[in-house]
Structure 1
Amino acid sequence: MKTLTKTLMGAFASLALVLALSLAPAPGYAGDQPNILPVPEDADLDTVPGNSRVFERVLRAVITEMQTMGFRVYDQTGVIMSFTDPNRVRRSDAELIALAQRVPNVPIDVILPIQIYASANQNPYIPDVLDLRIRVTGRMLHAQTMQSLGNFEVAFGPGAGEIPVASLPRVCNRDCVLEHVGNEAKTIGAEVGRVLATKLDVLSPASPQPMPQQPVVVTPPVAQQPVVPAPAGCTGLTTAYTLAFTGFQPQEMTLIEGYLAGFKGYDHHRPVRVTMTSADYWYETCSDVARLNRNLRLMVESMGVQARIAMAGNRFEIQKIGLMGNR
């Protein structure tokens, strides 16, 4: 009992230092910028399939806009070909999500499903005129938490609120419709890609670029001007993790919660499941995963306990290695 009390007193002193340092002004907390995987959302048989030339043109336009904003975009075929057939189409949403989570070499952070509808309908006022309608929808999902990060839709057609397009030829079969959709594909994909990239840019701010060095100019002394520090904040995508603690005493868990709130980049946490011997927390932070892993190791070291720390996906397992007790 005396040993535990002494250990906790030392840990509380370390925690006080951590919290004091966390209140000091600091530059932005650098989190991981998201890895993006665009996928065709074509389970609906009315949608344009993901292996069509039309979808490829829309996909390339979306990717170009994402890359222009500085995001890393990965090719679906390249990252899944090692464990499944990349040529399959009409996959369900559940299958697309499972594929993104199983990519072995690249941690996918954002899934970008793209859906295209195209149809040709007879004009209600001119019987021999076919009107082309195109609707492209893009949405973003956090690959680990399934949080919706935003969506956008662009509609081309003759209806109110739609972007007008030229009418189709008098005789136009399915291939003809797809060819005309392809002609508009670059504009459609660019619209969707630019808006989604802008939304993601707000959620995952870029790291500030270094200012160019200014020449030294000697001026007469003037009154001291107030210095406005750069605002502290997060860069990169805020990500949620599950932190599962096992074998810690209630007093130690109280101390651990203080450490978690003191880590740089901390957003918030929430208990998910708590018992006398275990506690699971939902923990959101803009800190990168490597820093979080290091902070957890430093935390248990500061507490003076032996613990096993393992990570898989967005889940950390922190298991205290217990010793034989004395009475």
Structure 2
Amino acid sequence: MNTLKLILAAATALGTCMPVFAGEQPNLLIVSEDADQDTIPRNSRIFNRVERAIASEMQAKGFRVYDETAVSMDITDPHRTRRNDAELISVARRVSAPIDAITVFQIYASTEKNQYADIVDLRVRIDGRILEVNNGAFLGAYEVSYGPGDLPPLPVNCDRDCVIEHVGDQARRVAADVGAELASRLDSISPVATEGSGTVGAASVVPEAGQTVTSAAQAEVCDGLTQAYTLQFRGFEPSELTRIEEYLVSFKGYDHHRPLRTDTVQSDYWYETCSDAARLNRNLRLMTEILDTDARVAVTDNRIEVEKRRVPVTR
């Protein structure tokens, strides 16, 4: 059961009283439902400005937002337009990054000639909603709409590019309002961690040569961009994986991790850290030495495989 499911289950059990606790924050994907022919398609400049405005508001609240094109380009056409909810959810469930929720938005924009003067007014409406990816739970919605007279009219002799830029200016501001409200609603069911919230740390481990750490909270934190890695551990016993996770949370620069898939033989983890790949590779090799395990460590881009060499048992 993922983070959002735990939060929602607790909320249901307690009615409207939300518990004050914080787990791992949900990973978000910002997507546009443009199946309606009246909406602005995702290949428009207006769409790009709206998407960035909503993403910025989500990031300002501390949520991790993944770029849809970057995480889905290997499995679907990033230029495809006019997609419905079913397609968007299917894509979110299959991308490389573990996505918990999608923020779906629609953009409606049109012009209207004033009947009393040579003035062209704008109509702009943006609605957004948040859906939980795994079970489709509805987590919140918000809409902002402006009609003729509510927004500045188009300039005189405004050509196509002028219209697009003018509408984009207004849509971006509207989208920021929608994004801020959706972020606040998501924040209410997934609050940030507070001091003393009870983070569970690792047991006493040695994550790096010559450095002893007694818990994850005491691990040295580095500055810089967080990088995501897929870690694959193959051939390890459950007790060994427990110790491995203790090391992972104590490595320098650790941000967070989560299991992606666990089988009898292989366990895959999504691992985010601001440490560089060379240091992470070195730490994993040192970890296998400390565990006294003969293992192969292989690195391919942001995928690291750690395979335990097992000697056949003589019977």
Q: TM-score range by the shorter chain?
A: 0.5 to 0.7
Q: Which amino acid aligns with 1:50?
A: R
Change (3 A) 1:120 1:201: same
Change (3 A) 1:30 1:202: closer
* Distance in structure 2 (CA, Å) of the matches to 1:171 and 1:96: 39
Identify the residue that residue 125 of structure 1 maps to in structure 2: 116
Change (3 A) 1:311 1:97: farther
Identify the residue that residue 83 of structure 1 maps to in structure 2: 75
Q: CA deviation at 1:185?
A: 3.2
Identify the residue that residue 194 of structure 1 maps to in structure 2: 180
Residue 193 of structure 2, aligned match among 196, 204, 207 = 207
* Distance in structure 2 (CA, Å) of the matches to 1:209 and 1:185: 38
Is 1:139 the equivalent of 2:129?
A: yes
* Distance in structure 2 (CA, Å) of the matches to 1:112 and 1:52: 18
TM-score by length of 1: 0.52
Q: Verify the 8 A CA contact 1:119 1:177 in the aligned structure 2.
A: no
Q: CA deviation at 1:171?
A: 4.1
Identify the residue that residue 23 of structure 2 maps to in structure 1: 31
Q: CA deviation at 1:157?
A: 2.8
* Distance in structure 2 (CA, Å) of the matches to 1:311 and 1:31: 22
Identify the residue that residue 253 of structure 2 maps to in structure 1: none
The Cα offsets for residues 114-172 of structure 1, whole Å up to 9 and x where unpaired, read as 1111100122333x22111111111100101111111111112336xxxx211123444
Q: Which amino acid aligns with 1:38?
A: I
Is 1:60 the equivalent of 2:52?
A: yes
Change (3 A) 1:86 1:67: same
Note the 1:179-258 alignment, pairs <5 A: 179-209=165-195
Is 1:99 the equivalent of 2:91?
A: yes
Identity of paired residues, percent? Answer: 51
Q: Once superposed, what is the RMSD of the aligned Cα atoms?
A: 3.0
Q: Which amino acid aligns with 2:127?
A: T
Is 1:113 the equivalent of 2:108?
A: no
Q: Which amino acid aligns with 1:63?
A: A
The Cα offsets for residues 56-95 of structure 1, whole Å up to 9 and x where unpaired, read as 1111111111111000000000111111111111112211
Q: Which amino acid aligns with 2:145?
A: A
TM-score by length of 2: 0.54
The Cα offsets for residues 11-56 of structure 1, whole Å up to 9 and x where unpaired, read as xxxxxxxxxxxxxxxx976533111000111111111111211111
Unaligned runs of 5+ in 2: 1-18, 198-256, 269-315
Identify the residue that residue 219 of structure 2 maps to in structure 1: none
Q: Verify the 8 A CA contact 1:132 1:177 in the aligned structure 2.
A: no
Larger Rg: 1
* Distance in structure 2 (CA, Å) of the matches to 1:174 and 1:203: 43
Q: Verify the 8 A CA contact 1:32 1:289 in the aligned structure 2.
A: no
* Distance in structure 1 (CA, Å) of the matches to 2:68 and 2:191: 25
Unaligned runs of 5+ in 1: 1-26, 212-287, 295-307, 313-327
* Distance in structure 2 (CA, Å) of the matches to 1:109 and 1:97: 11
Q: Verify the 8 A CA contact 2:45 2:168 in the aligned structure 1.
A: yes
Residue 158 of structure 1, aligned match among 148, 157, 160 = 148
Q: Which amino acid aligns with 1:34?
A: P
* Distance in structure 1 (CA, Å) of the matches to 2:187 and 2:76: 32
Identify the residue that residue 48 of structure 1 maps to in structure 2: 40
Q: Which amino acid aligns with 1:167?
A: P
Change (3 A) 1:131 1:140: same
Q: Which amino acid aligns with 2:105?
A: I
Q: Which amino acid aligns with 1:151?
A: A
Higher relative CO (Cα under 8 Å, sequence separation at least 6) belongs to 1
Q: Across the two proteins, how many residue pairs are aligned to each other?
A: 189
